[in-house]
Amino acid sequence: MRLPFQARLERRRIRAALPEPLRARLAALKRAQRGFGTARTLRRAPLALARFVALDLETTGPRMDRDRIIAIGAVAVAERSVGHRDAFAAVLRQRRSSSVDNILVHQIGGQQQLDGRATAEALVEFLEFIGTAVAVAFRAEFDVTVLVRELELELGIRVRQRFVDLAVLLPALFPGTQNDTLEDWLEHFSLRPIGRHDALADAYTCAQLLLIALDAAERLGARTTGDLMSFEAAQRWLGWRR
């Protein structure tokens, strides 16, 4: 059995092995998070002004307990609009390329994976991009699990990023639908994706769905990010997740 202090020691060892510039950037991120205040401060942010980051991950497989991140795509939604220039995309360098079947899904070739960005550098830049925003994803449990594990393995940090799961939130705002998949919701709202199984394209799709969700939430009386999270929490409590 692995004791808790062993995990802390391992994370400390990983952080100590990082290049000094990356350690300094991680320290700056920690100070910024501390300076932003508590989760209560985040929940009080007006929806009209809040910054969200819609994201998607492409991984080496479907196992969130073991597969690694191949690509990250993220698009900001701020002041009720998609920030087309406020986006992040990176292919992370792999020690070995993923299987042929996996490559056929996300279309990131073996050599492209081997030539990707240094993982630690890309992850730090990604954390800087998110900042204090609320992260948003569809079926967020997968993204949360993979991302948290990757940050611990590569940077030696534990991040408790707050996620809003569109797969839970949308049924709360549009009850009575039979929509289940991302494709179902896109068809429901007559949205045409710019691509599928591409991290940045899927993140942009999530950003479009988030705009629709924000508009619906405001019509139902939501005024802050906390109100939006309350809709999601109520849906989870009811056990209604399609």
pLDDT for residue 35 is more than 60: no
- Indicate if the pLDDT at residue 166 is higher than 90: yes
Does the pLDDT value for residue 206 go beyond 90? yes
Return the amino acid letter for 177: T
Tokens of 168: 């839970």
Give me the pLDDT at residue 163, please. 87
Q: What is the pLDDT of residues 83-98, one digit of tens each?
A: 888 999 999 999 999 9
pLDDT at residue 42, rounded to an integer: 75
Measured between alpha carbons, how far is 26 from 99 in angstroms, rounded to an integer? 33
Does the pLDDT at position 2 exceed 90? no
User: Are 177 and 188 a contacting pair, CB within 8 Å?
Assistant: yes
Q: Please give the pLDDT value at position 239.
A: 67
Q: Above pLDDT 70, what percent of the chain?
A: 93
Residue 33 above 80 pLDDT? no
Asked if residue 4 has pLDDT above 80, the reply is no
Average pLDDT along the chain: 89
Res 36 pLDDT > 60: no
- Asked whether residue 153 carries a pLDDT value surpassing 90, the answer given is yes
pLDDT score of 121 more than 90: yes
Q: How far is CA 141 from CA 80, 136, 202, 233, in A?
A: 25, 11, 16, 14
Confidence (pLDDT) at 27: 93
Please report where in the chains the tokens 């309350």 appear, as a residue. Answer: 230
Confidence of residue 43 (pLDDT cuts 50, 70, 90): confident
134-137 and 51-59 strand pairing: parallel
Q: What confidence score (pLDDT) does residue 39 get? A: 62
What CATH code would you report for 4-164+193-203? 3.30.420.10
DSSP state of 220: T
DSSP secondary structure letter of residue 176: T
**Could you tell me the pTM of the whole model?**
0.91
- Mean pLDDT along residues 161-170: 89
- Per-residue pLDDT of 69-83, as tens digits, reads 999 999 999 988 898
- Where along the chain do its domains lie? 4-164+193-203
Residue 65 in this model has a pLDDT that exceeds 60: yes
DSSP class per residue in 62-120: S-TTT--EEEEEEEEEETTEEEEEEEEEEEBP-SS---HHHHHHH---HHHHHTSB-HH
Structure tokens, 15: 């952080």
Give the pLDDT of residue 192: 86
Q: What is the average per-residue pLDDT within 207-235?
A: 93
